[in-house]
Amino acid sequence: MPQIKALDGNWAVAEGVRLAGPKVVAAYPITPQTPIVERVADFIADGSLPGARYIAVESEHSALSAVVGAALVGTRVFTATAGAGLALMHEVVGVASGNRLPIVMAVANRALPSPWSLQVDHSDSMAERDMGWIQLYAENCQEALDLVLLGYRLAEEVRLPVMLCLDGFYVSHSTEVVSVPDAKEVAAFLPAYEPGPVCLDPDCPLTINQLTSAGTFTEIKYQHKQALDQALELLPYLGEEFGTHFGRPYAPIQAENCAGADVVLVSLGSSAGTARQVAKELREKGQQVGTLKVTSFRPFPKQAVQTALKDAKSVAVIDRSWGLGSEGPLSLEVKAALYTLPKRPLVTSYVAGLGGRDLSSDTLSKVVETTMELKSQGRSEFEPIWIDVKEGEVD
């Protein structure tokens, strides 16, 4: 039987890790992720994660390196990080995915410096978006737990690492009611770990990760691309299967009331919940507002997004990252997904909620209002709108 508990997002992730049963965990403390690895360290110390070892490394760079090493000899592994810690890992992020290691790493999203911020935006994980990992974004604490389990299953099916992103503080430190699955049910969904073909084993010596020529690099990267394509094909099925075990199905996107909508709010992470509430209230007042939450940002479910949005009149994409020099990455993806349609909805890109600023229902109502106004003029805005910037404080 599942247990109902009051957990914050970090502890929910830790419960997911306990249930998934990695054998090696390596981590370095960084706000707002630290409670995840503190809790996991407790589980290892008190025997709740039998046979597992915790490596308290001296940096995030070494955290990811150590779990790569452990995965290379055939064990299930876990690590977690945030913000600048993820940026420090960057070089090894590519090693993990390029060697097709099914690592699960939680990222409690935190704005990258500078200026320093302890709080959420997606600038950290977005900086890693093209590194060949699967990136799943949790809306709430329940999803944070569930996506650990779904993440391991998907990672091990396609031999790719998974970055599980949860908004710093808004999810990581917010306490909610969470259903913690039964261990037996988890075992039925997530089988025991099977080492992959890329393995350091003296009985079958392989040289791994050596220098490659222009004659083979492209093909290796193409196989990597194919694995992400495969992940996108598989995710809906695994998400359904998750639902049959635990009663909560998952899909790469969650689209509601999009067909014929005057405005669809597209977002990632915790703001998706706020968007749904804003849309609900506006629909009650007679406005046609839909929502689209992207759970899988990598691989990006282009076709599903196109299908969901094709009959909307206008789309407002909210990026919780800077997109400096261009526009937010979510907006770029949505526009690209719609491009091949003969008749496209109007799309306006918004930047909001940076460095921990609340992406409130007021902000999202303003997004809807602005998009409606543009729609009434039959147009969208070409440049991104920084909707929550304090006009009086910038020159």
Partner 1 sequence: MGAATEKLPLISCGITTCEGCAMELIGRVTLDVLGPKTIILTPPSCSAIITGYGRETGWRVPAFQSNLENIAAYCSGIRVALEVQGKDDVHVVAFAGDGGTVDIGLQALSGAIEREHKFIYICYDNEAYMNTGIQRSGATPLGAWTTTTPAGKKESKKDIVAMLRAQGIPYLATASAGYIDDFRRKVERAKDVDGPVYIHVLTPCATGWRFPPKETVNIARMAVDTGLWPLYEVVDGRLKITRKVKTLKPVTDYVQCQGRFRSIFADQIAQLEKGAEKLYQELLAEEEKA
**Sites of contact with partner 1 (CB under 8 A):** 23-24, 26, 51-53, 55-59, 61-63, 65-75, 77, 91-92, 95, 200-202, 204-213, 215-216
User: Cβ closer to partner 1: 3 or 212?
Assistant: 212
**C-alpha to C-alpha distance for 285 and 265, rounded to whole angstroms:** 17
H/E segment holding residue 43? helix 34-45
Closest distance to partner 1 from the beta carbon of 43 (Å): 15
**C-alpha to C-alpha distance for 160 and 208, rounded to whole angstroms:** 16
Closest distance to partner 1 from the beta carbon of 98 (Å): 11
In the chain, the largest separation of any two C-alpha atoms, in whole Å, equals 70
DSSP 8-class letter at 355: G
User: Cβ closer to partner 1: 72 or 227?
Assistant: 72
User: Cβ closer to partner 1: 43 or 169?
Assistant: 43
In this structure, are residues 79 and 101 in contact, taking their beta carbons and an 8 Å threshold?
no
User: Cβ closer to partner 1: 73 or 183?
Assistant: 73
User: Cβ closer to partner 1: 1 or 208?
Assistant: 208
List the 253-256 sheet strands across, edge first: 253-256, 289-294, 263-267, 314-319, 346-351, 385-386
| Peptide bond connecting 32 to the previous residue in cis, omega within 30 degrees of 0 | yes
Closest distance to partner 1 from the beta carbon of 135 (Å): 22
User: Cβ closer to partner 1: 202 or 325?
Assistant: 202
User: Cβ closer to partner 1: 91 or 281?
Assistant: 91
Q: Which of 121, 122, 138, 125 is nearest to 176 (CA)?
A: 138
- Strand-pairing partners, residue 351, are 319, 386
CA 12 to chain CA centroid, Å, is 15
Is 293 strand, coil or helix? Answer: strand
User: Cβ closer to partner 1: 26 or 253?
Assistant: 26
**Which single residue is written with the structure tokens 């590519």?**
94
Closest distance to partner 1 from the beta carbon of 22 (Å): 10
Closest distance to partner 1 from the beta carbon of 18 (Å): 16
**C-alpha to C-alpha distance for 233 and 2, rounded to whole angstroms:** 29
Closest distance to partner 1 from the beta carbon of 132 (Å): 16
List the 296-298 sheet strands across, edge first: 53-56, 24-27, 77-81, 104-109, 162-167, 134-138, 296-298
Closest distance to partner 1 from the beta carbon of 195 (Å): 10
Closest distance to partner 1 from the beta carbon of 14 (Å): 19
Q: How many residues does the chain have?
A: 395
